[in-house]
Amino acid sequence: MVSILLMMALQATPAVPAVSAIACPAWEREMSFADSVRRHDAAAFAEHVDPDAVFSVTGKSPLHGRASIGERWAGLVSGKAGRLDWYPDHVIAANSGDIAWSSGPALFETADGKGGKTIMLSRFSSVWRKNADGEWRVVFDSGSDPVKASAEQVQAFQAHRARSCDMD
């Protein structure tokens, strides 16, 4: 059931999401956050995380604080624990322009121990806050349990990644 929902969500995702002008900076920051992981840049990753952030908010052991999150995510950020990629397909911001919610697909690629790879898909949800220094930082983050992805789902993931914020 979850796999079907993920496939439907990926197929229904517009190629370029319509994001309001007020939410576009949060969309861009989410893309920058994902890029920090693709580039294996731990310092940039940490800069996207609010000092008071909580990750895995729906899990059994939420991670509290930038340092704890950085430690737990080190293998993914470095690429040693596999490859992680994601992008937002929904971003909405409060009229105040200082808090936003983003959600989208995430793709995990790991070695299968047999010389091949396992590719899984999930969905993430994040809450962003514009801090006093003017930077957007993720405050809350969570995701669904990953499920094995088909070749078609991986292609859809790649095809639906928008490169710029299309404001409505």
pLDDT digits (tens, 9 = 90+) for 38-94: 999 999 999 999 999 999 998 889 999 999 999 999 999 999 999 999 999 999 999
Environment class of residue 95 by beta-carbon count within 10 Å: exposed (0-12), middle (13-18) or buried (19+)?
exposed
Q: Evaluate whether residue 134 is within a structural domain.
A: yes
Question: What would the mean pLDDT of 144-157 be, rounded to a whole number?
Answer: 94
pLDDT (0 to 100) of residue 115 = 87
CATH number at residue 138: 3.10.450.50
Average pLDDT for the chain: 88
- Cα angle, residue 50 at apex, residues 47 and 51 outer, rounded to 5°: 100
List the end-to-end C-alpha distance of the chain, in Å, as a whole number.
32
Contact 32, 46 (CB under 8 A): no
Number of H helices, E strands in the chain: 5, 10
What total number of domains does the chain contain? 1
Residue 5 has pLDDT above 50, yes or no: no
Residue 132: give the domain boundaries: 2-162
Q: Evaluate whether residue 102 is within a structural domain.
A: yes
The predicted model scores a pTM of 0.86
**pLDDT top residue among 164 and 6:** 164
